[in-house]
Amino acid sequence: MDDVIVNYACVDRSAYMLVGTPDQVEHNPAMYAAWLNGMVFVDKLDPQSRKDSVEKMVRVLESGSSVILYPEGAWNNTENLLVQPLFAGAAEMALRTGAKIVPIAIEQYGKRYCANIGEPIDPRAYRQAPCEAGAGTAGMPGREEKQRLTDHLRDVLCILRWEIWAQAAPAARADLSETAAAEYLEGIMRESEKGYTVEEILRTRFHPKETSPAEAFAFLQKLKPCRENAFLLRGREAYLRREPPQ
């Protein structure tokens, strides 16, 4: 809950918050204050719920209000990733409404929180001309537009978090024990709101889609041979002759 309060303290206006763990509201009275300020609930495991939440947040932005969301989808409990892969919802909302994204990185050191606020990101710079591949329509952004903005947002968040580490981290990584990561994770989960577990983190974080070899080479089955694509046919024959997995 404290990170929510810190987020509200970083913005200079009232803002709706996207909440993906409704149990925290039931078991944490302090969350009622955030509910009174404005909330949109989402079931992160339900694609339709995620889609509906984007539509609601778009309406909030179009009305002139602001929104707060966590594009990673869950706490970052990894040892080496500065920022986990992001959901594209923030990029889609910004591209559809023209609202700028203000990136905020927050780190917790015991009872102390450090926040680093980046420069606003203008989504108009990521809109492509209608004739370009991957471009969307006037109202709906294309897949590549959303991905470019999402990638940039993640890069910016990584820089902001690294700057906190460089200036405020209580210890250098070389000074940490081999069990420091496990002890830290155990500590923050012990203090977390009821209902939020490591299993929940693993289930609700963003999982990039993995492309299987069969999906990657599926187009070769429909390829019509000609001089221009002969080099691809050599790849098709090699794929079709491949040894089945053991």
- pLDDT (average), residues 2-7: 78
Percentage of the chain modeled with pLDDT above 90 = 32
Q: Which residue has the tokens 């983190």?
A: 201
pTM for the full predicted model: 0.74
Supply the pLDDT for residue 151. 95
**Conformational region of residue 197, where left means phi above 0, alpha means psi within -120 to 50, and beta covers everything else:** beta
**pLDDT band (50, 70, 90) for residue 129:** low
Supply the pLDDT for residue 11. 85
Other Cβ atoms closer than 10 A to 21: 20
Average pLDDT, the chain: 80
pLDDT for 42 beyond 60:
yes
Residue 231 to residues 46, 215, 217, 221: CA-CA distances in angstroms? 42, 19, 14, 14
**How far apart are alpha carbons 208 and 151 in whole angstroms?**
13
**pLDDT band (50, 70, 90) for residue 47:** confident
Percentage of the chain modeled with pLDDT above 70 = 74
Taking each helix axis as running N to C, give the angle between helix 89-97 and helix 47-62, from 0 to 180 degrees, rounded to the nearest 10.
30
pLDDT tens digits, one per residue of 166-191: 998 877 777 888 888 888 777 777 76
Least confident of 55-59, 111-115, 201-205: 201-205
Supply the pLDDT for residue 238. 56
Supply the pLDDT for residue 102. 96
Supply the pLDDT for residue 57. 93
Angle at 35 between CA 31 and CA 36, to 5 degrees: 120
**pLDDT band (50, 70, 90) for residue 60:** very high
**pLDDT band (50, 70, 90) for residue 194:** low
pLDDT tens digits, one per residue of 63-80: 999 999 999 988 887 877
- pLDDT (average), residues 100-126: 92
Supply the pLDDT for residue 220. 66
